Chains A and B, each alone.
Chain A
Amino acid sequence: MGYLIETIYFLTAVVFIVGLKRMSHPTTARSGIVWAGYGMVLATLFSFAHPQIQAGPGNYVLMVIAIAIGGVIAWWGAKKVEMTAMPQMIAIYNGMGGGAAAAIAAVELLKDHSGGGPETHVLIMAVAGALIGAVAFSGSVIAFGKLQELKFFKDDAKFRFTGQQKFNAAVFGAAIVLGLVIALSHSSSGALISIFFLLALAFGAMMALPIGGADMPVVISLFNAFTGLAVALEGFVLGNSAMIIAGIIVGSSGTLLTLMMAKAMNRSVSNVLFSNWAALASGEAQAVTGSLKAMEPPDAAIQMAYAAKVIIVPGYGMAVAQAQHKIWEMCKLLIERDVDVKFAIHPVAGRMPGHMNVLLAEAGVPYDLIFDMDEINEEFSTADVALVIGANDVVNPAARTDKSSPIYGMPILNVDYAKNVQVIKRGKGVGFAGIENALFFADNTRMVYGDAQKVTAGLIQGIKDLG
């Protein structure tokens, strides 16, 4: 039986790798997840016959019930949720994985080790996996709450206090020391283990709490890598090769993805995790001069219809309003009028890298109209109209000019270089980073207020009226 299980796990690992490889190309991506899905089903079914499972039939019943409850809730959640809420769904499912790894460690640690038990290095790995998994769990739950914009998390500043980093470091240090004590003394004391888990969970939550919402994608990606690592460590403990391979692949690819995302924001990961965003923002930011100038959709439509080149910059506002279909409809009208239409995507537009690409793909926008920041930034100076739809911080020129701004140094789309800028925006509020945007006050900028979907419908009507 052992050989059969190992063979199945080996096959699962192979299928996962093939699946991930396929997922990294747009044309084969869909089949990639299906491949990986078959691998998961296969591994799960055969695990019922795992030779390490020795206990009575009662545990099998529990297993089936737990899989049914967890599976149905997750299935329902994933099917039900709006596309805009995908990032926080990734966060919460990632947290569940971390929690599962931590719980596996808890079961292993709580076993009575007096009659021999696992070797010390195995226990150290169990403790390490428990620590990382628990941090990923509580951190992801907080990230979920923040992205969901739950009221409790609204004000980042209230979770900041002086000496916070030292306090967090102390909690983390205490968790490590306690973990080592548990592992080295082969202790299965319920009290020690409970305190250890409480410290680890507290650290994860406190690590995520003060981080500004705009940085959340980087943090979720980091927790994703953490969970992978925790799964791999518990894989070592259980001697489960599928968990080791899958966990490490996620750990390393997740780390790389985190670095790439942080780089796209021109910040280091440690800067994201430890910088005190609010303290920076409260410094003397340059006063924004000028006034907001409103424009009605019909006028905006005329400006675009007679333009030679229009560059569209989508942001989170487009995602919230689900405006991508309307926008593509409008683009098709413009293209019929021989307007050169392009989409410019900032690496962190929306809530995640590629978030906008997914939505535009949903609407049917061809890939060759969609450009990354580096490809298109030169072109703004030759554009007649730059249409900003619900994007804010990623087009804020303060990132280029204002050293006191918290987003200073972040690469932005140079929308302000276009001849005319139109900004579709719900209201006069500030962006996710919580700062004013000088672009909106510039002489060549016009604000088109309203829900992105309704405004776009107005624009379509305006273009059609021109005949």
Chain B
Amino acid sequence: MEAVVSFFSPIYILMLAAILGYEIIGKVPVILHTPLMSGTNFVHGIVLVGAMVALGQAETPLEQAIGFLAVLLGAGNAVGGYFVTERMLEMFKSSKGQEK
């Protein structure tokens, strides 16, 4: 039974997270489509932590090299995704300031 539960629990997570993602973006005004796409692009930068674990487990030089590449790409995704999104959303802030 325990094995069954541990097999299915990720599937429940998957289902709930899928619904959540659908809900979050479902009611977004067009104005925020690009920033939000950029925001989700940042969120999957969490791949970085997986890349760190993969590199941490690497034993042979080949595994280390690929793990290194994974961490490098993951860090690029996270950092780049953050600053692109931030720069876009920065504009919404400044425009609000001018309206006052």
Contact of B62 among A55, A90, A110, A247 (CB under 8 A): A110
- Scan residues 77-92 of chain B and give those whose CB is less than 8 A from a CB of chain A: 77-92
Provide the bound-state CA to CA distance between A337 and B14, in Å: 57
Does any Cβ of B come within 8 Å of A204's Cβ?
Answer: no
Does any Cβ of B come within 8 Å of A246's Cβ?
Answer: yes
Interface SS, B side: helix
> Knowing A231-B47, A243-B47 touch, does A62 contact B68 (C-beta < 8 A)?
yes
Give the chain A neighbours of B48 by CB distance below 8 A. Answer: 40, 44, 47, 67, 100
Q: How far is the CB of A356 from chain B (nearest CB, A)?
A: 9
Does any Cβ of B come within 8 Å of A154's Cβ?
Answer: no
Does any Cβ of B come within 8 Å of A249's Cβ?
Answer: yes
Size category, A interface:
35 or more
Tally A-B pairs: CB < 8 A: 379
Q: How far is the CB of B57 from chain A (nearest CB, A)?
A: 6
Does any Cβ of B come within 8 Å of A33's Cβ?
Answer: yes
Q: Which one of A24-32, A157-165, A266-274, A310-318 contacts B?
A: A24-32
Give the chain A neighbours of B45 by CB distance below 8 A. Answer: 40, 93, 97
Does any Cβ of B come within 8 Å of A75's Cβ?
Answer: yes
Does any Cβ of B come within 8 Å of A86's Cβ?
Answer: yes
Interface SS, A side: helix
Contact of B37 among A59, A245, A257 (CB under 8 A): A257
Is the CB–CB distance between A104 and B33 below 8 Å? no
Does any Cβ of B come within 8 Å of A103's Cβ?
Answer: yes
Q: Identify which of B30, B37, B47, B94 gathers the most chain A CB atoms within 10 Å of its CB.
A: B47
Q: How far is the CB of A431 from chain B (nearest CB, A)?
A: 20
Is the CB–CB distance between B55 and A29 below 8 Å? no
> Knowing A55-B59, A94-B41 touch, does A100 contact B34 (C-beta < 8 A)?
no
Q: How far is the CB of A194 from chain B (nearest CB, A)?
A: 11
Does any Cβ of B come within 8 Å of A361's Cβ?
Answer: yes
Contact of A354 among B26, B27, B32 (CB under 8 A): B32
Is the CB–CB distance between A96 and B92 below 8 Å? no
Give the chain B neighbours of A59 by CB distance below 8 A. Answer: 55-56, 58, 64, 67
Residue of A nearest to B96 (CB): A27
Contact of B39 among A23, A25, A366 (CB under 8 A): A23
Provide the bound-state CA to CA distance between A280 and B28, in Å: 34
Is the CB–CB distance between B20 and A249 below 8 Å? yes
Binding site for B on A (CB under 8 A): 9, 12, 16-17, 19-21, 23-27, 29-30, 32-34, 36-37, 40, 43-44, 47-48, 50, 52-55, 58-60, 62-63, 65-71, 73-75, 77-79, 81, 83, 86-87, 89-90, 92-94, 96-97, 99-101, 103-104, 106-108, 110-111, 190, 220-221, 224, 227-228, 231-232, 234-236, 238, 240-254, 256-257, 260-261, 264, 345, 347, 352-355, 357-359, 361-367, 370, 372
Can you list 15 A-B contacts (CB < 8 A)?
Answer: A20-B24, A20-B39, A40-B78, A53-B52, A65-B68, A67-B75, A70-B72, A78-B87, A93-B84, A103-B70, A221-B37, A248-B13, A264-B30, A353-B34, A354-B32
Binding site for A on B (CB under 8 A): 10, 13-14, 17-22, 24-60, 62-64, 66-96, 98-99
A44-B78, A78-B79 given; 13 more Cβ-contact pairs under 8 Å? A16-B43, A44-B52, A52-B56, A52-B57, A67-B75, A70-B79, A78-B82, A93-B81, A100-B73, A107-B54, A107-B67, A354-B31, A358-B91
